[in-house]
Amino acid sequence: MTDRRLEALLDEVSRPYRGATRLAMLCAACAAIAGILLLGLAGWFITGAALAGAAGIAAVQAFNYLLPSAAIRLLAIGRTVTRYGERLYGHKAALSALALFRIRLFETLIAKPIANVERGAGDLAALLLEDVAALEDRFVRAPGDVAALVGTATALALAMPAGPMAMYALAAIVVAVLVLTRLLARRWLPARALRIQQDIAALKQLFVEYAAASPEIAAYALGRSVETQLLERAAGLDAKRTAFARAEAVLAAIVTGAGGLAMAAMLGLSTAALPITLLAALAAAGAIETLGASVRSSGREAVIAAGLARLAALVSTPPMSGVPGPLLAGDQIRITGNNQMATLKRGDRLSITGRSGSGKTSLLEYLAGQRTTGGNVEIDGHSIAHLPPDTRRALFGFSPQNAQMLAGTIADNLRIARIGLTDEALWQALEVACLADDVRALPEGLATWVGDGGIRLSGGQRKRLSLARALLADRPWLLLDEPSEGLDPQTEARMRTNLDEWLNETGAGLVLVTHRTAMLSLADQHLALPG
């Protein structure tokens, strides 16, 4: 069962496109009517023309072929146009709603505690892509169901002139097809479809992990082993897809056989003339055909349900705690705990040291609004536990230990810090971070593509790019987690001097986590975490 918040979110994103959905349903109904009338009228016309020809020249001259032929052409064109309209408006509504849903889902994702949304790239891609894409069937399914309902009603209406027994037989066959195919589809397809979806997600995750470890794979000559493992996984996926396709083929054969049975029932039970009988028979076959799309969608129900369950779990996770509070200037920060206290005024500089695992990084993430716990901290007299994440993020420019990079250019990664940054501002920040010379040496400069996760940059370059981004955020406080890790002593000394000058010019405060002696000299206060 889906979460109410997820249902409300789906309703919100689909509301602007309900007009397009209604048009798609109307077009689907018209296409179904036109298709069945076309089959029935064509059968009646061919049979009538044949009987007129067999009856002699007088019957041929009396037979009006202009109106039926014109109607057949009109119905053929109408079916084509309305089917196109169904596809156009149905997919416009579905794809537009899903695009908006992804935006809302991403907004929901970033509002959650970081510990609740930390996941592999493949898992996150499956959530934002596969699970959301599976919802497309939920949106485009309605026109197909309408077409099946209207098509069946039209065929039953056309079967009435063939006699009550013929009409009852058609109704019984339609019900039997729906019941039988639904039962078989729910027995055969959901588990297979779900396993296929899970295997696809697992294979993508495996590709992501191996791609990230490609240097190590090459260094240890593991390429053949990795290739074998991927091929085995892919072969297993292909086998499951084949089994799923066979099950779908059986269902399709049942629908096709039911169409033939419906035609035979019309021919055997009709009490009307031969042209009317053939009209009813072909209309019955057309009605059974409209049920095919509804039957095929049954195999996606489990995938949709599983995707909805994962999305509901994400949406139902409460956002980071905090009530709306006043805009704070960040004039004073007080950190207490373990019989230690540090009171900082804006412009002060604090260094934090401690053993690995003592909570240094967690404290910085807590200050930056990325964690719900991390210590006893007050900002301007307000407990940080009661401040919303947005309030905290507005006070701190954060350069984490493991900086994340967008798969874009250097400029793209810098400009997410603040709206309206000029190239001159980017270069100034790069100078302070001791990265300007490296970027100038690149052929495309700021337009250099950094690759997925910044893979085309070295670890030290990613660190300095993250530092430049934190500087560009122009916050009252700067949070730095091991900013000089991996740098040579000369570059580290230059970075220390540049940061000292930048802090003096801007009046920003500093909270620094480092184990490097040169960087510790930036601070005028020190806090040692036990552990």
pLDDT in tens, 43-61: 788 887 777 777 767 666 6
Are residues 515 and 491 part of one domain? yes
Tell me: pLDDT of 67 over 90.
no
Tell me: pLDDT of 156 over 60.
yes
The pLDDT of residue 264 is: 92
Q: What is the pTM of this model?
A: 0.67
> Do 387 and 325 form a contact (C-beta atoms < 8 A)?
yes
Cα dist from 290 to 144, 427, 451, whole Å: 8, 63, 48
3-class DSSP state of 474: coil
CATH code, domain with 393: 3.40.50.300
Are residues 479 and 344 part of one domain? yes
Cα dist from 383 to 47, 334, 377, 479, 485, whole Å: 86, 9, 6, 19, 32
* Placement of tokens 């930036």 in the chain: 522
In a domain, 388, yes or no: yes
Q: What percent of the chain has pLDDT over 90?
A: 26
Q: How confident is the model at residue 391 (pLDDT cuts 50, 70, 90)?
A: confident
Last residue of a domain, one of 316, 343, 371: 316
The pLDDT of residue 128 is: 67
The pLDDT of residue 69 is: 85
Number of domains forming the structure of the chain = 2
In a domain, 327, yes or no: no
3-class DSSP state of 525: strand
Are residues 304 and 336 part of one domain? no
In this prediction, residues 361-377 reach a mean pLDDT of: 79
185-195 confidence digits (pLDDT tens): 888 887 888 78
The pLDDT of residue 62 is: 67
Last residue of a domain, one of 316, 345, 366: 316
CATH code, domain with 118: 1.20.1560.10
Two tokens at 98? Answer: 């899903």
In a domain, 181, yes or no: yes
Q: How far apart are CA 441 and CA 439, in angstroms?
A: 5
Are residues 339 and 301 part of one domain? no
In a domain, 87, yes or no: yes
78-114 confidence digits (pLDDT tens): 999 999 999 999 989 988 988 888 888 877 777 666 6
Higher per-residue pLDDT: 316 or 47: 47
> Could you tell me whether strands 349-354 and 525-529 are parallel, antiparallel, or unpaired per DSSP bridges?
parallel
The pLDDT of residue 257 is: 92
Two tokens at 369? Answer: 């609004």
> Do 334 and 377 form a contact (C-beta atoms < 8 A)?
yes
The pLDDT of residue 123 is: 60
Are residues 306 and 401 part of one domain? no
The count of other CB atoms within 10 Å of the CB of residue 154 is: 22
Q: How far apart are CA 130 and CA 125, in angstroms?
A: 7
Q: How far apart are CA 358 and CA 530, in angstroms?
A: 6
Q: How far apart are CA 325 and CA 376, in angstroms?
A: 18
Average pLDDT in the chain: 84
Are residues 356 and 251 part of one domain? no
Tell me: pLDDT of 293 over 90.
no
Largest alpha-carbon pair distance within the chain? 114
Q: How far apart are CA 37 and CA 153, in angstroms?
A: 12
Are residues 251 and 375 part of one domain? no
Question: Which residues is 409 bridged to in the sheet?
Answer: 449
Tell which residue, 395, 377, 372, has the closest CA to residue 326: 395
Sequence-distant (6+) residues with CB within 8 A of 518 are: 484, 489, 492, 493, 496
In a domain, 114, yes or no: yes
Please give the angle made by the CA atoms of 482, 485 and 491, to the nearest 5 degrees. Answer: 115
Tell me: pLDDT of 447 over 50.
yes
Tell which residue, 426, 397, 363, has the closest CA to residue 509: 397
The pLDDT of residue 25 is: 92
Q: How far apart are CA 462 and CA 399, in angstroms?
A: 10
Are residues 386 and 269 part of one domain? no
Q: How confident is the model at residue 469 (pLDDT cuts 50, 70, 90)?
A: very high
In a domain, 270, yes or no: yes
- Rounded to a whole number of angstroms, the CA Rg of the chain reads 34
In this prediction, residues 263-292 reach a mean pLDDT of: 86
In a domain, 8, yes or no: yes
Q: What backbone torsions phi and psi does residue 357 show, to the nearest 5 degrees?
A: 90, 5
The identity of residue 416, as a single letter, is I
Are residues 418 and 378 part of one domain? yes
Q: How confident is the model at residue 231 (pLDDT cuts 50, 70, 90)?
A: very high
328-356 confidence digits (pLDDT tens): 778 888 887 666 778 889 889 999 888 88
Question: Which residues is 343 bridged to in the sheet?
Answer: 334
> Do 375 and 424 form a contact (C-beta atoms < 8 A)?
no
Please give the angle made by the CA atoms of 11, 14 and 19, to the nearest 5 degrees. Answer: 125
The pLDDT of residue 1 is: 43
DSSP state of 481: E
The pLDDT of residue 112 is: 67
Strand order in the sheet with 382-383: 340-345, 332-337, 376-379, 382-383
Last residue of a domain, one of 265, 290, 316: 316
Are residues 153 and 254 part of one domain? yes
* Placement of tokens 């397809």 in the chain: 189
Range of the domain at 241: 4-316
Highest mean pLDDT range out of 140-149, 286-295, 455-464, 505-514? 505-514
Q: What backbone torsions phi and psi does residue 422 show, to the nearest 5 degrees?
A: -90, 165
